[in-house]
Structure 1
Amino acid sequence: MTTAIGIQWPEFNDGLTYNDVISPSSSGLTLINFYSSNYSSSAPLQGWLQRIHNGQITIDGDIVTDPDTVLRVGSKLVYHRLPWSEPETPFLLEVLYEDDDMIAINKPSGLQVLPGGLFQQRTVLTQLKWHANKNGNSSPGQLHPVPVHRLGRGTSGVLLCAKTKSAKARLAAYFADGTSLSLHPGQNALFGIAYGFTAFNNSVVVDKVLINKPIGIIRYPGVAKGLYVALPSGKPALSKVRVLERDLEKDQSLVQVEIQSGRPHQIRIHLSLIGYPLLDDPLYVAGGQPECFDSELVEEDFAEDG
């Protein structure tokens, strides 16, 4: 009988702080010029002005609300991002195995593994820390709950996590040399259910497919650092797909995918590239490209935090 761990998310997270030390090249810039030029992906000019006027930025510990304040070498800047309500996210984690060194969980779709973007608190890492603190079965110096590998936020599946620093080092070494999966160094094998593969390659059913297509980044609405897609100018990516089982009635197949390059979202991108995306993938469609949508940015419309 499996068990589940997880604590309901609070309405708001704790916010964030971002630290900078003024270098000689930035000396003489005004406060607004520094932030609007160095962190334009976080907010445009008007957004940074709003944050400064809100009193969210300190210089050497003092709140500064004048955007034209001139910066000096060595000054310590801190931007305080206000707490916000993160998007709705699952919080329960099904425990498949647990001992003193590691825990294997069934990560639900919609839950991010590590902090990033809008999701700073609502992550697997946060739930692992809360679970460890609640149990208190290790001394603070030994406690180090952390995922050993990653699964995309929209991907569900088995996630192996270490509970101590020593366990993390050993498990990471296993993944690096392929010991845990009897693979060659640098390879990883993952399993998923994909649409199709019941008739492929001119209606001839095949069991193995080799996908060797580069993956790169494009600008995409709502993703500050860009989105990974199949892109000729991207970095090399190789995936070996093997069909394990087929469900002809549902036109779905259980596949094993070995990846050597490990690009972000590689399996999702490569399977969708050849026309067989993962089941219920909310983003990637045939061709290895994202599902496009119209997005307009209204410059004058900013949240409370700019």
Structure 2
Amino acid sequence: MACRRKFGIPWPECNDGLSYDDVVRTSDSGLTLIEFYSTKYKSSAPLQGWLQRIKSGQITFDGRVVTDSNAVLRVGSKLVYHRLPWKEPDAPHMIEVLYEDDDMIALNKPSGLQVLPGGLFQQRTVLTQLQWKANLHKKPHPVPVHRLGRGTSGILLCAKTKLARVRLASYFADGTSHIEGKRDTNPEIGKIAKIYRGLASGIVENDQVTINQPIGVVKYPCVAKGLYVASESGKPALSVVSILERNVQENSTLVQVKIQSGRPHQIRIHLSFMGHPLLGDPLYDVGGKPKCLDCDSIDESFAEDGGYQRPIKAVPGDCGYNLHAHKLVLSHPLTNEIIEITAPLPSTLQTPEEAKEIASMEQTFQDV
């Protein structure tokens, strides 16, 4: 059923902190506490940061606080690192429901809100709001079956049952396998198709462009698993870009992009690869690579909690660009009914005709 309602609970000043559990394995026996954490979790904090965390009593060894960084580990011992509560960066908390039935729910995710916990955002996420909402009604919470970048707005699909989750996840996996197996290059094929709106920099000459540049991963500071970029050795990816409006005065092009499933940051990477990065994208430059050149450098200084300082260079979660998951067409995971879901367009991504039509509808609504 179609919906247009919102939900959301304001974020508390600080989150509840986190606890990370480890059990010492045979391969780690004999290591000191600092050796264990500074090598196994180097992406979390530099050496001096882990020393600070140990000395401040944030780590327990078999249930007892240990402040000796040279304590030797024993096989089977339980280690717990207690990350202190912190104030997460500002993020929206209200979320619009676009569609909901007994099996799934489609949300209109606002730009600036992260989907799943990660990095500085452990509580201020879509998942947390879904959990809080479910707790109020004492029901299991829906689970996102795909991701949108923090700066990307629009349709986020979530499953309400285990069966729906498995089938919806398979839709996305099948879409990627079509590309990987080169069985078809038409993004209309499959059980799900996504249509995005974006504002690209510069004037795109061709009315339609098909991009099949592979996407891979490179080492990048403050991104533990690496940064997704255009790479000939990467995995296949397909985007079909259509031009909606060229704005010569603003030197920008309003585009529609169709993808069947998608690699992480695929549209940002593909548009930048074709020479027209999303306007305001702080990370990706022409060629589908990051703007910085010294991607192997790492700042070893640490913040108050012992972790790395907020990166100076842009990271994937930074906002500033205009990208919106506008339409989603899929086969219902249980009934096979074709469902089409639309998320209202931000004003910056509307054509002049659409803007006039929306303004006229709003005026009519006010006059009623």
Residue 116 (structure 1) aligned with residue 118 (structure 2): yes
CA distance in 2, matches of 1:216, 1:182: 23
TM-score when normalising by structure 2: 0.71
Q: Which residue of 2 aligns with 1:155?
A: 152
Q: Which residue of 2 aligns with 1:238?
A: 237
Pick closer, same or farther for the CA change 1:291–1:10 going to 2, 3 Å.
farther
Contact 1:177-1:184 within 8 A present in 2 as well: no
Contact 1:197-1:206 within 8 A present in 2 as well: no
CA distance in 2, matches of 1:214, 1:148: 21
SS at match of 1:254: strand
Q: How is 1:217-296 mapped onto 2 (pairs within 5 angstroms)?
A: 217-220=218-221, 222-232=222-232, 234-243=233-242, 245-248=244-247, 251-258=252-259, 262-292=262-292
2:59 to 57, 60, 64: 57
Task: String of CA shifts for 1:120-176, please: whole Å, max 9, x gaps.
Answer: 11111111111122234x3xxxx1411111111111111111223233223323444
Pick closer, same or farther for the CA change 1:182–1:73 going to 2, 3 Å.
same
CA distance in 2, matches of 1:51, 1:176: 40
Residue 125 (structure 1) aligned with residue 118 (structure 2): no
Aligned identity (percent) is 56
Contact 2:201-2:279 within 8 A present in 1 as well: no
Pick closer, same or farther for the CA change 1:161–1:280 going to 2, 3 Å.
farther
SS at match of 2:207: coil
One-letter amino acid matched to 2:278: L
SS at match of 1:208: strand
Pick closer, same or farther for the CA change 1:257–1:38 going to 2, 3 Å.
same
Task: String of CA shifts for 1:188-235, please: whole Å, max 9, x gaps.
Answer: 5331223268542xxxx3323233244322313x33333222234x41
Contact 2:190-2:260 within 8 A present in 1 as well: no
SS at match of 1:25: helix
- Counting matched residue pairs gives 291
SS at match of 1:17: strand
SS at match of 2:28: coil
Give 5+ residue unaligned stretches, structure 2. Answer: 176-185, 308-368
CA distance in 2, matches of 1:281, 1:191: 16
1:26 to 20, 25, 28: 28
Q: Report which stretch shifted further, 241-250 or 10-19.
A: 241-250
Q: Which residue of 2 aligns with 1:36?
A: 38
SS at match of 1:72: coil
Residue 215 (structure 1) aligned with residue 216 (structure 2): yes
Give 5+ residue unaligned stretches, structure 1. Answer: none
Contact 2:214-2:236 within 8 A present in 1 as well: yes
Contact 1:144-1:165 within 8 A present in 2 as well: no
2:195 to 187, 190, 208: 190
SS at match of 2:53: helix
Q: Report which stretch shifted further, 290-299 or 85-94.
A: 290-299
Pick closer, same or farther for the CA change 1:69–1:97 going to 2, 3 Å.
same
Q: How is 1:64-79 mapped onto 2 (pairs within 5 angstroms)?
A: 64-79=66-81
CA distance in 2, matches of 1:46, 1:39: 13
Greater relative CO, 1 or 2 (CA 8 Å, sep 6+):
2
Quote the offset at 1:298 in angstroms. 6.2
Quote the offset at 1:82 in angstroms. 0.8
Contact 1:176-1:186 within 8 A present in 2 as well: no
Contact 2:187-2:193 within 8 A present in 1 as well: no
SS at match of 2:234: coil
One-letter amino acid matched to 1:154: G
Quote the offset at 1:268 in angstroms. 1.0
Quote the offset at 1:51 in angstroms. 0.8
CA distance in 2, matches of 1:199, 1:207: 9
SS at match of 1:257: strand
Contact 1:191-1:256 within 8 A present in 2 as well: yes
